Structure 1
Amino acid sequence: MLDIFNKWYKRYLFEEEAILLLVMLAISIALLVTIGDILAPLLAAMVLAFLMQGISSKLQGYGLPQWVGVSVSFLIFVGAFFAVTLGLLPLAWRQFLSLASELPAMLGKGQQLLAVLPERYPDFFSEQQMSDLVSMAQAEAANLGQFVVTQGLANISGLFSLMVYMILIPILVFFFLRDRELILNWLGEFLPEKRPLLKRIWSEMNLQFANYARGKVIEIIVVGAVSYVAFAWMGLNYAALLALLVGLSVIIPYIGAVIVTLPVVLVGFFQWGFASEFYTLCVVYLVIQGLDGNVLVPFLFSEAVNLHPVAIILAILFFGGIWGMWGVFFAIPLATLIKAIIYAWPSRDSNPLELPPPDTETALE
Structure 2
Amino acid sequence: MLGVLGNWYKRKFSDPNALMLLLLILFSCAILYLFGGILMPVLVALVIAYLLDVPVTKLENAGIRRSLATTFTLIVFLCVCFVTAIALIPIISKQSVNLIKEVPLIWESAQAWLATLPQKYPSVIEVGYIKSMMEGVNERVVSVGEQVLSASFSSLGNIAAILIYIILVPLMVFFMLNDKGFFVASISKILPKERVLITQVGEEMNTQIANYIRGKVIEIVIVGAVTSIAFSILDLRFALLLGVLVGFSVLIPYIGAAVVTIPVAIVALFQFGFTAEFGYIMLVYFIIQALDGNLLVPILFSEAVSLHPLYIIIAVLLFGGLWGFWGVFFAIPLATLVKALITAWSTPKLANDTNDAQIA
Q: Please, what TM-score do these two structures have when normalized by structure 1? A: 0.89
In 2, distance between residues paired with 1:6 and 1:152? 53
Aligned to 2:218: 218
Matched, 1:351 2:350: yes
Aligned to 1:208: 208
Deviations 1:220-261 (A, max 9, x none): 111011111112222222222211110111111111111100
- Of 123-132 and 208-217, the range deviating more from structure 2: 123-132
1:306-325 matches, within 5 Å, as 306-325=306-325
- Of 80-89 and 208-217, the range deviating more from structure 2: 80-89
Aligned to 2:164: 164
Aligned to 1:233: 233
Conserved 8 A contact 2:211-2:301: yes
In 2, distance between residues paired with 1:135 and 1:81? 44
What is the Cα-based RMSD across aligned positions, in Å?
2.3
CA spacing shift, 1:342–1:240, aligned 2, 3 Å: same
- Of 95-104 and 289-298, the range deviating more from structure 2: 95-104
Matched, 1:305 2:300: no
In 2, distance between residues paired with 1:59 and 1:114? 61
Deviation at 1:6, TM superposition (A): 4.8
- Of 57-66 and 211-220, the range deviating more from structure 2: 57-66
1:1-365 matches, within 5 Å, as 4=4, 6-83=6-83, 87-89=87-89, 91-192=91-192, 195-302=195-302, 304-345=304-345, 350-351=349-350
Deviations 1:196-219 (A, max 9, x none): 222211121112112222111110
Deviation at 1:312, TM superposition (A): 0.9
Residue identity opposite 1:250 in structure 2: V
Conserved 8 A contact 2:20-2:192: no
Deviation at 1:95, TM superposition (A): 2.5
CA spacing shift, 1:285–1:188, aligned 2, 3 Å: same
Deviation at 1:335, TM superposition (A): 0.9
Conserved 8 A contact 2:21-2:195: no
In 1, distance between residues paired with 2:145 and 2:352? 56
Deviation at 1:101, TM superposition (A): 1.8
- Of 337-346 and 305-314, the range deviating more from structure 2: 337-346
CA spacing shift, 1:317–1:15, aligned 2, 3 Å: same
Residue identity opposite 1:222 in structure 2: I
Long gaps (5+) in structure 1: 356-365
In 1, distance between residues paired with 2:145 and 2:97? 9
In 1, distance between residues paired with 2:352 and 2:210? 22
- Of 200-209 and 123-132, the range deviating more from structure 2: 123-132
CA spacing shift, 1:283–1:112, aligned 2, 3 Å: same
Deviations 1:125-153 (A, max 9, x none): 22222222322332233233223311210
CA spacing shift, 1:69–1:96, aligned 2, 3 Å: same
- Of 124-133 and 106-115, the range deviating more from structure 2: 124-133
Deviation at 1:25, TM superposition (A): 1.4
**What secondary structure is seen at the aligned counterpart in 1 of 2:190?**
coil
CA spacing shift, 1:291–1:331, aligned 2, 3 Å: same
CA spacing shift, 1:58–1:122, aligned 2, 3 Å: farther
In the alignment of these two chains, the number of paired residues is 354
Deviations 1:74-99 (A, max 9, x none): 12321344345555445434432322
CA spacing shift, 1:113–1:4, aligned 2, 3 Å: closer
CA spacing shift, 1:251–1:353, aligned 2, 3 Å: farther
In 1, distance between residues paired with 2:326 and 2:174? 21
In 1, distance between residues paired with 2:350 and 2:240? 53
Deviation at 1:318, TM superposition (A): 0.7
In 2, distance between residues paired with 1:34 and 1:85? 32
In 2, distance between residues paired with 1:319 and 1:42? 19
- Of 269-278 and 44-53, the range deviating more from structure 2: 269-278
**What secondary structure is seen at the aligned counterpart in 2 of 1:256?**
helix
Conserved 8 A contact 2:20-2:195: no
